[in-house]
Chain A
Amino acid sequence: NAGVTQTPKFQVLKTGQSMTLQCAQDMNHEYMSWYRQDPGMGLRLIHYSVGAGITDQGEVPNGYNVSRSTTEDFPLRLLSAAPSQTSVYFCASSFRTGNYGYTFGSGTRLTVV
């Protein structure tokens, strides 16, 4: 099992550019989510999904779009990057039961200049 795979690991964008952060899991998890982590801060929930075709907003959804067309993939799209979106982004997945932990990816470090 590969677990949760995030690509790319590092990315530099110019203000106004768009890009998609990829997240894939091979564990057949229903639940997937995206978090961002700013320096010295905790993780803040951006968007999450409890199954294919179902997504919902987290704490800080503005400036980000998601879709969940398959169980395995949960891409995060930045439509028009801003310097405030400079952060480390983590994807997580789990079975949709409270008695199962999250598996996190290794993160994507994004810098917007």
Chain B
Amino acid sequence: DAKTTQPPSMDCAEGRAANLPCNHSTISGNEYVYWYRQIHSQGPQYIIHGLKNNETNEMASLIITEDRKSSTLILPHATLRDTAVYYCIVRPNFGNEKLTFGTGTRLTIIP
């Protein structure tokens, strides 16, 4: 399974766009990129996912590089409630489901 690398922490000013990077240089062609976040000790919450194309939903945008070796999660107008740990994982389409989460990026939104 492809592994991911994320910075351990980031700060972002409230109201600004938060850009969270993820490196997944060993990703396979059938693996999706997923982003989740965890607020305090709650269960992780799904944010967005993509395979090749950029994706946008009501929460965020996902930009995947053309070679698929990295991606960026964009929270367009960060609020204090976006303070959380953000996890980037890759998941195969019908394959080994032995998926693991790394330590993620702790995003702190600064008032």
Interface of A with B (CB < 8 Å)? 4, 31, 33, 35, 37, 41-45, 48, 50, 56, 58-59, 88, 90, 92, 96-99, 101-107, 109
A98 x B98 contact (CB < 8 A):
no
Smallest CB separation, A75 vs chain B (Å):
18
* Stretch of B44-52, B64-72, B76-84 that contacts chain A: B44-52
The 10 closest A-B CB pairs, nearest first, are A98-B93, A104-B43, A101-B46, A43-B101, A42-B103, A98-B32, A42-B101, A98-B91, A104-B44, A106-B43
B32 x A99 contact (CB < 8 A):
yes
Instruction: From B44, B46, B51, name the one whose CB has the most chain A CB atoms within 10 angstroms.
Output: B44
A45 x B100 contact (CB < 8 A):
yes
Q: Which of B31, B46, B87 contacts A98 (CB 8 A)?
A: B31
A58 x B103 contact (CB < 8 A):
no
B interface, over-half SS = loop
B87 x A42 contact (CB < 8 A):
yes
Q: Specify which chain A residues have a CB less than 8 angstroms from the CB of B98 in the assembled complex.
A: 45, 48, 56, 58
B94 x A102 contact (CB < 8 A):
no
Q: 0/1 per residue, B46-60, Cβ < 8 Å to A?
A: 100101000000000
A59 x B92 contact (CB < 8 A):
no
A interface, over-half SS = strand
Smallest CB separation, B56 vs chain A (Å):
16
Q: List 22 A-B contacts (CB under 8 A).
A: A31-B97, A33-B99, A35-B101, A37-B41, A41-B103, A42-B87, A42-B104, A43-B87, A44-B100, A45-B101, A58-B98, A58-B100, A90-B43, A92-B43, A96-B97, A97-B94, A98-B94, A101-B46, A102-B36, A103-B46, A104-B44, A106-B42
